[in-house]
Amino acid sequence: MKSLDWSALDEAGRRQALARPAQSRADEVRRGVERIIAAVRHDGDTALRELSTKYDRCTLDAIEVSGAEFDAAEAALDPELKAAIREAAARIELFHRAAAPRPVVVDTAPGVRVERMLRPVSRVGLYVPAGSAPLPSTALMLGVPARIAGCREVVLCSPARADGRCDAAVLYAARLVGVHRVFKLGGAQAIAAMAYGTESIPKCDKLFGPGNAWVTEAKLQVSSDPDGAAIDMPAGPSEILVIADAGANPVFVAADLLSQAEHGPDSQVILLSNSAQLIERVEREVERQCAALPRADIARQALAQSRLIAVDSLAQAVEVSNRYAPEHLIMQVAEPRALLEGIDSAGSIFLGPWAPESVGDYCSGSNHVLPTYGYARSYSGVSVASYQKQISVQEVSAEGLRHIGPCTATLAAAEQLEAHRRAVTLRLEALA
């Protein structure tokens, strides 16, 4: 990991210090995704099979997962793993039900009632990555709020293994949370299929889920096309930023950094500390722990694009963190809540030494599908609200129009919209 002193950097150096690695290949990825989307739109299922052979190195006879495959997956899983999946799903549901939006009814004037009613997005497409490792937890994070929201049809895409089957744990989690249909597709081609539809894949209204830079780019492209689909957010390669003071445990800090570095080569981890001694200890500890990881090679590729940054104070660390807008923010400081008020851009925050990011990934109850690339400045993580539309309703009586009609007419006249004004004044005249 590269060590830097924030105060010694000029503005260009600071931008470079916080640059995401995946963005350096943006043009190459953009053009590649355009070709994939065009192929799927033109050739449908034929293109999906060809792309699966090319990228996932598997031959697909059937694109959709069968009932027999679901049954076999459930039978093959270790009972302890199935119990953990059920436990995590229950905790995720507990939090998401409590945090779900509620209908609102307000009388804003006598005889004027304004409501907000909630309706689910009708058909949603979920993407569960399975590149270097399957992610059944993502099936839970996406499927639970979709079920709470009441989406009419929930489809899920996840890459097949070389044997043409999806990961058993992903299938078990998908069935548990009520996903209706699962397809053996990965990458940008899965996003294109759900956005535009093919012979086998239904066209979805909104797409959800994280993925690599190609998946993220595909989501951005289809969301900008009126014929495509809306998306939850840009959610690409995982990232974490840790703020740690001199009293932080370097073993814990290093473990948290590595927990994200092992996700993939495009992941990025950053440490901000006002203690040079802690930075040195963390650096040594990262190397020691990394050597023992099964995914050490992947972690080292991510670490090569990561940073150890010295700051003058914890207040400066907060400023740098807000500028980076991390997907995950861990605050291993003596009084983390004292810094919390200053944080305005982060996907999910973990306070204190006993809150590793891993619990948020799996079973604390919060959602782990979060904005990356700095999009935490303007996006939130997935929630029940992500799967719902909020529709306003107004009911106005004659008395109500007498109360608010003159205000409406005055504002319409100020905007020189005479038909707007007359729609009110003609009614008021009828009530005279």
Are 13 and 86 contained in the same domain?
Answer: no
Q: Which of 96, 327, 357, 368 is catalytic?
A: 327
Q: Is 263 annotated as a binding residue?
A: yes
Domain count, the chain: 3
Helix (H, G, I), strand (E, B) or coil at 281: helix
Sorting pLDDT into bands at 50, 70 and 90, what band is 99? very high
* pLDDT of res. 116: 98
Domain boundary among 178, 209, 231: 231
Q: Is 415 annotated as a binding residue?
A: yes
pLDDT, one tens digit per residue, over 37-67 is 999 999 999 999 999 999 988 889 899 999 9
DSSP class per residue in 61-77: S-SBPPHHHHHHHHHHS
The token pair at 195 is 């956005």
Q: In the annotation, is 399 catalytic?
A: no
* pLDDT of res. 24: 57
Rounded to 10°, the helix 136-149/168-176 angle is 20
Helix (H, G, I), strand (E, B) or coil at 114: strand
Domain assignment present for 114 = no
Q: Is 324 annotated as a binding residue?
A: no
Domain assignment present for 177 = yes
Domain boundary among 199, 231, 263: 231
CATH number of the domain that residue 325 is part of: 3.40.50.1980
Q: Which of 96, 239, 262, 328 is catalytic?
A: 328
pLDDT, one tens digit per residue, over 10-23 is 999 999 999 988 66
Are 157 and 244 contained in the same domain?
Answer: no
Are 415 and 289 contained in the same domain?
Answer: no
Q: How far apart are CA 197 and CA 182, in angstroms?
A: 14
Closest CA to 174 of 126, 208, 113, 224: 126
Domain assignment present for 286 = yes
Q: What is the mean pLDDT of residues 247-255?
A: 98
* pLDDT of res. 213: 85
Q: Where is pLDDT greater, at 236 or 175? A: 175
Which one-letter DSSP state was computed for residue 55? I
Which one-letter DSSP state was computed for residue 224? T
Q: Is 375 annotated as a binding residue?
A: no
Q: Mark out the alpha helices in 52-186 (DSSP H runs).
A: 67-76, 79-99, 136-149, 168-176
Q: In the annotation, is 368 catalytic?
A: no
pTM of the predicted model as reported, rounded to 2 decimal places: 0.93
